[in-house]
Amino acid sequence: MGTDARLTLASIPRALTPLDPASMRLSVLIPVYNERNTIETILDRVNGVPIAKEIVCVDDYSTDGTRERLIELHSAGLIDRLILQPRNGGKGKAIRTAIAVSTGDVIIVQDADLEYDPQDWPVLLQPIVDGKADACFGSRFLGGPHRVLYYWHSVGNTLLTRVSNMLTNLNLTDMETCYKAIRGDTARSLQLTSDRFGFEPEITARLAKRDARIYEVPISYAGRTYAEGKKINWKDGIAAFWHILKFNLWG
């Protein structure tokens, strides 16, 4: 399952600490909560990308049958490591758990829904492989194809990114994106504490304080509706403002 596949990217210019694509291994971190309808499809897509990888799934105490299906998929060899949380702790805690057990040269978070496409990984990984970046963010607002959905969600994302940028002194277009590829040693050295959706502003603030070299690239995005299972809401947006202040000013 991906262990003998190798990253097929363009020739790599010599830069600061580049990675060898012939030996590089990616840790794909998948936090899962009540995604019974999409988990098999996303795992098929993840496994279909010809990159050497380990797949780490953390089930955040799903109650819709996802947990039982993950156990079956793990037994079938579609997941390298499966962690079953004893209680629901939130997306941030699930990701922190996955980072702690990851072993890859680079880590990337992959949501268990179908909003983000693993076919975008090569462009996301390229700046890190080239040795130009310690982290690369996949932006939904840099021109990639995307499903047209909620206007006020885009306004909220823009406001959150702008406030975060003012405090981190970065010029990101999409701080809240799920797709953040980070060098494994860098990710595992960060002191992360967020349990829910505060993970995105926290890891951005931690990287900025480390003076990490951050790139941003366009990605595709197929957002889903609440009827289709979208979980984040306006309360999480308000909480995100608090997390931005907390991790940049006091955290």
CATH code of residue 68: 3.90.550.10
CB atoms within 10 A of CB 22: 8
Is 221 part of a structural domain of the chain? yes
DSSP-based three-state secondary structure for 168: helix
CB atoms within 10 A of CB 73: 17
Is 214 part of a structural domain of the chain? yes
pTM score: 0.87
pLDDT value for 146: 62
Are the CB atoms for 205 and 234 separated by under 8 Å? Answer: no
Q: How many domains does the chain have?
A: 1
pLDDT value for 185: 97
- Tens-place pLDDT, residues 125-140: 999 999 999 999 999 9
Is 202 part of a structural domain of the chain? yes
- Cα separation, 117 vs 45, in Å, equals 8
CB atoms within 10 A of CB 249: 9
Write out the residue range of the structural domain in which residue 144 sits. 26-250
Residue 18 — pLDDT band, cuts 50, 70, 90?
Answer: confident
Distances (CA, A) of 23 to 56, 182, 184, 205: 19, 17, 14, 30
- Cα separation, 75 vs 80, in Å, equals 9
> What is the mean pLDDT of the segment spanning 184-212?
95
Is 6 part of a structural domain of the chain? no
Is 18 part of a structural domain of the chain? no
Q: Which two tokens stand for residue 212?
A: 């990490």
pLDDT value for 149: 53
Is 37 part of a structural domain of the chain? yes
Of 141-150, 164-173, 177-186, 191-200, the poorest mean pLDDT is in 141-150
- Tens-place pLDDT, residues 78-120: 999 999 999 999 999 999 999 999 999 999 999 999 999 999 9
DSSP-based three-state secondary structure for 44: helix
Give the residue ranges of DSSP H helices in the chain: 39-48, 66-75, 91-101, 121-129, 151-168, 184-189, 199-209, 234-245
Of 58-67, 80-89, 165-174, 231-240, the poorest mean pLDDT is in 231-240
Is 176 part of a structural domain of the chain? yes
Is 166 part of a structural domain of the chain? yes
CB atoms within 10 A of CB 9: 15
239 has a pLDDT exceeding 90? no
